[in-house]
Amino acid sequence: MSSLQAIVTSGGFSNLFETGTSVNAPEDAFGQSPAHLAACGGEAFFLLWQLQTGANLNQQDCLGEAPIHKAAKVGSLECLAVLVAGDAKIDLCNNSGQTAADLALAYGFLECAKFLTTTQHTQTMKLRGQSGDSLSDRHGLLREDPAGLKQGSESSSSRSRKRRRSDGV
């Protein structure tokens, strides 16, 4: 066990930077950073601290795994939430071509797999919306004159307001 792993598992997080350990420096033979170890240990608070100190959440170890893969393998929904909030790449594949969702499913953490796939789907939909290429626009449904649409909606709203008045006007 490396000294960093001992620090993480013993809960001595405050000593981590006193020893001169860099936030992204791989500390063991597998190329795992402190963020990898925090995610693997299900230490969401420590992972958040790593994020705030500039940890690279997409740094891959010798297996091609980033902290998101480690959190998925141990079923830490809290760590996954911290990583997703920190903009970790959900679709990042390890050396075996597996995403974090694939690993969560393989290790039997269905809730984690569902969280990751739902989040990835949501992000994909947001990106499509930001590109300005909406489904209705692709099918030509928004090709009408916007001014004509505005006038039509104003006149229909005016009529509906007139019908609601009780004084007959």
pTM for the complete prediction?
0.65
pLDDT tens profile 86-143: 999 999 999 999 999 999 999 999 999 999 999 999 988 888 887 665 554 544 444 4
Q: In degrees, to the nearest 5, what angle opens at C-alpha 65 toward C-alphas 2 and 33?
A: 35
**Protein fold of 3-132:** 1.25.40
Written as one string, the DSSP assignment of 73-97 is: HHT-HHHHHHHHHTT--TT---TTS
pLDDT tens profile 45-79: 999 999 999 999 999 999 999 999 999 999 999 99
Per-domain boundaries in the chain: 3-132, 134-163
